[in-house]
Structure 1
């Protein structure tokens, strides 16, 4: 039986790794997302039942382990040197002349200079064992756990070879824009460009955060390899591609600098069509023996040069400053500009981010400003050309009322964003309803974005409470909504009324209150009334609920529109109480546990469920109120704090003895 299980696990790993390669490296998927998810679920289930078969190269290990306290230093076996820069044709010809003087005529490889973060990846016998940032070229940081979350980095190569490669981790423009939009909604500082976003994401101490950032990589150099030899850079890259690495499809093999200059001019404008940002082109000697002759300085290679594109900025006049309400109520100021051509498109608007950004740069209506595109996507005002002021410019004042619904705006201390707290604000309704009906919230099957748009457009739904007052005769009039679909949707809506308080609370979309926080609040207060009437000082006493979360909950329920909506949900029969989990015993009644380190016999979720089923609670932080700290391998700072406070620390064996009593 065990042999069969092991064989099936190995088979699943090979199949999943193959489909990862087809999807993330070749961009040519062969199976549906549902089929892929089914294979991954089967592998996870088998590894959960047979943890002795888990290996570091398993696809399930891409996001694993506990958050780190800090990154360890890593000494590079081969220095990761930088490139010298040139900015015009003359300087590039000078580089070509120096190369010819040293090694004679040579061919080159021209590559895009991707704006990201350089890393080294090490493999032993085909298994990914370590990855590190460039750092100063000689010493970087070990970010292996985070690099494992990047799906285009193979955990096992197609050959059992020992080697080291260098690559550029980057964030595609699409995900950079989405990340900054989300951070702006949350009132967090924005990343200036995709390079900063990639660097910040790769240096997260929690790999789960990195995994959500959608990073990618192009491998661009073979640093060293055992048992093989290559004559050219192109030959080495083709080999790396064959064994599973993602190589840039845009590299060009050219015969001389004249050809290079032609391609550089072509890419100067075409670069804006790329899905990632580049800031130039890299010219490299193709012959590896000639590279050895050319060598390097202490800081950069003599066999390669970076041709940098100039930053593209244009002057424009700020004709007006308007505000827009985002899906979470954030009110964002936007500059209306005289149209200018920038990065391949015509720009007539630019984000001003928030009130503080405008004050810091002293941007006024009527100003002449310099505009650029962050990540070649988001037009933004860089600075004011103050010498062109006439004295007629008008300072901007942020409105104290929401421009969409008239609700009094709020600005939470320590945040940059001004917000509309009214959940019924028209600008927030559609996105709010989509979230409310989603699987992790009220899970109303059949109530997707297209149907929601129709309901709103036909005036049938103005807020989430209206969902529970929909009638059959309203639904069958909608496009592509037949008798069966209408009845199925009404049944799903009716079934959702039975959900627990945690799902409802999460579905309301209160800022900072995710599914876990909603579950904690539901467990603690038991009813919606209890949460609605709780004061900030009551909320911060709840484990895992911090000051910002408490302040957000209080602000949400202080709004009359939101309280009226809750009343309508109550009248419709939506459950307002927590659903008690089935109890096994009350052995841990009144006890609070904190988990730390890697548990061998349980996952975190399993240990939490066992504690809660036996009447206990699980907290994420150690305090004097903590009853026990359950410690596994490599416990973190929670263990030190427990000892300092005199909180009992127990092992898994001791935990099981407590359960058996």
Structure 2
């Protein structure tokens, strides 16, 4: 670490050390909220909310805070986890070995400090494998006896999304490995990406087909691989195949592989290449730290000479035996590090600074700029975070400013070019009122930098954001409830009174509520109105389409569900329009969503700090929204993965009357806000159960059960569904994809059962399996 970085870190540590416990908890909650929001957006929705440097700064500050105040670290802290929970766009796949992330360094001093720690821990004789860090989508390929059986995204590092069907269209990924002597099981890890040339060709193809252009290769790769085939017409399937066929893969490691017959990472690459898997042609093995530093410097100067985008270099200890010796933290191996390159910079004109309001009410200034091309894409706007950041950067409206793509992804304003000022520039003034509802902006509590709109119930921006969140894959996963439809339902151009004043009425929506809507499309990141090619607001009627021919009074049928509108009836003036297929699909999907898993409803309520991890834990323990609502702070905080900060947020949320109205109206509309068969808080049945006192871990794919379904079956039978294997575990139910938990069970001598035995166990109890006498 250089002198400036070291001084900054010491200053931050001193500041954090002075915090009392309440302030430390509040700061941990704030950082957790920011990190989880950014992580869920990046991994779950292919959206980037903040630049790498800002995100890394949040993580470093939270790590320092937890080091100085260990009591604030909850079991679901972002410092202990990887990625984000996978959605349900695809079936879940449990990795045989966790897909960890990498820690980052940003200077040669920091890299050398990491290498010094490695050599201190393992002694001399370390070699370093250096390879380019591809800016793509992480992928895990599972081969059994040389045949590809599954391909999965990273997800949360433990469970990813099954993209096997799409991977079969990706060039260069063998479905059967070449050669012989393949292990019974091997997980191969790699990065899926577009070359720069293929990305440009893809965007040209998208434009020719009238489809949207991609902002950068990473989002294009993720969006291409994570798309469903169902419901697509012939043209859409052709476009999908076109995109998938242009993807490439480079493998860069292994996950599960019992006893690999090689001693080094570089030999692993040689073996993988002999099997027909694509490995990087840019990697090298450095004999010393100096040689590794030379490699880093070389590609920092020649990063654009490579056919794909890179954002740094990954350096790994080459000797596999040292990997075990060095070990890993809960989120990253200690035997590898990612060196991040500084981003590119260009100049452009700052036309304006506007303020948008997000789902949580935070008012965020955004720079509106003359379009500028940087790091392969055109940039028009960038977040300025808050008024203090605007002041610290010293920018004036009308300035020529320096911008960069932090991590080659997120636009960031660095500052003004002062010498180019001509006196016409003016200072930005943070508005006193919410730009969407007019409410006075204020900090949520004393000392907060961010200003927020306090009108959480009715502010159109906040309601719009919450409704879009409900439809997201991390919440209720409602197809068709996205950016445009959320805006249409909460802030339309017409009618004057929107169909949804709050999200409470979501499950009460009817066809006649959707028909008359026109809406201005807003940018998902900024909340600002999008402009069309002519510079006019992009306005649409998302739920209706023009009638092509008179329906001649025919009644709707199952095959032709479009309702007939009477010109003299309630939709006077709209007789030439009928309800679109998208509207019918939205209503059908809302109906289906009523029976989604309980934890998804809890995430959908937008309770601060409650993400999928905490929601799952609460749903499994309490079994219903009513039981969670009735629980005390101590009862909530005692649940594994929750803690006092989340407990306080839940209690505060339920003290608001219109929040309670949401729950009540959803329940009245038929939403299933309880897990069927759940015996109540604590997962202990009132009159016993066949699994009373029995602890079970379910891992891998159990035929006939989803992951949540297996846990719910255990709980419904009175047992404890544990997430990790220990000496207190009675049974491990293991199916295909079971990994380290299976190995741990074998090591501890715990009884392992398959899916058929698991069904007998939850239905009839341990005695039906025989040879069990209790813990």
TM-score of the aligned structures, taking structure 1 as reference length: 0.46
Structure number with greater Rg is 1
